[in-house]
Amino acid sequence: MERPFNFSAGPAALPEAVLQQAAAEMLDWQGKGISVMEMSHRSRDFDSIIMQAEKDLRDLLAVPDTYRILFTQASATALNAVIPMNLAGKGPTPPIIDFVHTGVWSGKSLVEAQKYARVNVAASSELSHFNTIPPQASWQLTDRAAYVHICSNETINGTEYFFTPDTGPVPLVADMSSHILSRPVDIEKYGLIFAGAQKNMGMAGVSVVIVKEDLISHALPVCPSVYDFSSLSLHHSIFNTPPVYAIYICGLVLKWLKEQGGVPAMEAAAVRKSALLYDCIDASSLYANSVDRSCRSRMNVPFFLQDASLEDAFLAGAEKNGLLQLRGHRSTGGMRASLYNAMPVAGVEKLVAYMREFERTH
State the catalytic residues.
105, 175, 199
Measured CA to CA in angstroms, residue 28 lies from 20, 32, 35, 39, 203 at distances of: 14, 6, 5, 11, 20
Q: How many CA atoms lie within 13 A of 341 on its CB side?
A: 31
Q: How deeply is 73 buried, as exposed, middle or buried, from its count of CB atoms within 10 A (0-12, 13-18, 19+)?
A: middle
CA distance 182 to 3: 23
Helix, strand, or coil (residue 47): helix
Instruction: Outline where the chain has alpha helix (H).
Output: 16-24, 44-61, 76-87, 104-113, 229-234, 244-259, 262-282, 311-320, 345-361
Measured CA to CA in angstroms, residue 1 lies from 4, 18, 322, 323 at distances of: 9, 17, 12, 15
Pairing of β 147-151 and β 96-101:
parallel
CA distance 360 to 205: 42
Measured CA to CA in angstroms, residue 142 lies from 22, 92, 103 at distances of: 48, 11, 21
Measured CA to CA in angstroms, residue 309 lies from 322, 327, 334 at distances of: 22, 14, 11
Residues 6+ apart with CB under 8 A from 320: none
CA distance 205 to 80: 16
